[in-house]
């Protein structure tokens, strides 16, 4: 039995001026044409900005690449679905009969979209300050547990450790081309892993830099695949 949206709203510490916005945030496209897709689009942008701003404040010495990876670790699909499950959000989703039968209320993509849609709904209802306050409250534990110890490692090391943690073969780096004059050559390297069929190609003025570039692109791709 689907539980009432107002119960979840209270549980999340929210109070809407327009409760219909909150109900819409929980409505999947399989249930109605008046669904949460547009709110999810808006919430995704707001969430990314708020988390980026907080990370910028928390880690003043971190470079752009490290900040990007930290943000991706927080706002990916798996992370958002984890937060949704913590608050039993799936019990309140409004789904069509097909999604109900197939267990859509447990699916990471649907749960994470609903979290972002709630953020979009809150922004429409009360503005940026209220949205920021709730996002930081929602992510408080995750933000507190962050450390730069791992994120300051170079991309190749990070990717290698990721593969080792999953007991998979190490990434393979293949030199594709080497062009230019001796003092200003450009190297192109292809990185492949068992985690995705899609290779990533990096470039640099040395083979080592091209490999690092390819590894960084692969890490970004893997983060997107879990979002």
Q: Is 40 annotated as a binding residue?
A: yes
Q: Which residue has the tokens 């110890």?
A: 149
**DSSP string of the chain, one letter each residue:** -PPPHHHHHHHTT---SSHHHHHHHTB-TTT-SS-SHHHHHHHHHHHHHHHHHHHHHH-TT--HHHHHHHHHHHHSHHHHHHHHHHTTGGGG-B--HHHHHTTGGG-HHHHHHHHHHHHHHHHHHH-HHHHHHHHHHHTHHHHHT--HHHHTS-HHHHHHHHHHHTT-PPPEEEEEEEES-TTS-EEEEEEEETTEEEEEEEEESSHHHHHHHHHHHHHHHHHHHT-
* C-alpha span between 31 and 117 (Å, rounded): 15
Q: Is 216 annotated as a binding residue?
A: no
Q: Does 116 qualify as catalytic in the annotation?
A: yes
What angle, rounded to 10 degrees, do the helices at 108-126 and 37-58 form?
A: 80
Q: Helix, strand or coil for residue 104?
A: helix
Structure-block tokens of residue 151: 């994120």
Q: Does 154 qualify as catalytic in the annotation?
A: no
Q: Helix, strand or coil for residue 182?
A: coil
Q: Is 220 annotated as a binding residue?
A: no
> Catalytic residue among 44, 99, 125, 211, which?
44
> Catalytic residue among 99, 116, 125, 216, which?
116
Active site residues: 44, 116
**Residue list for the binding site:** 40, 113, 116
**Residue list for the binding site for Mg(2+):** 40, 113, 116
């Amino acid at each position: 039995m689907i539980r009432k949206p107002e119960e979840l709203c209270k549980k999340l510490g929210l109070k809407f001026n327009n409760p219909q916005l909150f109900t819409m945030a929980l409505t999947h496209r399989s249930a109605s044409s008046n669904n949460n897709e547009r709110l999810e689009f808006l919430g995704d942008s707001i969430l990314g900005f708020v988390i980026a701003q907080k990370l910028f404040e928390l880690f003043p010495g971190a470079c752009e690449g490290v900040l990007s990876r930290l943000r991706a670790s927080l706002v990916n699909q798996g992370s958002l679905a984890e937060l949704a499950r913590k608050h039993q959000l799936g019990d309140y989703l409004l789904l069509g009969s097909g999604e109900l039968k197939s267990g859509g209320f447990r699916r990471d993509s649907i749960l994470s979209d609903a979290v972002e849609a709630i953020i979009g709904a809150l922004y429409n209802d009360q503005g940026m300050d209220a949205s920021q306050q709730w996002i930081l409250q929602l992510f408080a534990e995750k933000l507190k547990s962050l450390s730069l110890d791992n994120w300051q490692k170079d991309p190749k090391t990070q990717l290698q450790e990721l593969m080792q943690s999953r007991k998979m073969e190490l990434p393979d780096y293949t030199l594709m081309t080497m062009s230019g004059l001796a003092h200003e050559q450009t190297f192109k390297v292809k990185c492949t892993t068992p985690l995705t069929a899609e290779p990533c190609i990096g470039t640099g003025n040395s083979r080592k830099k091209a490999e690092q570039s390819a590894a960084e692109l692969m890490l970004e791709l893997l983060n997107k695949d879990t979002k």
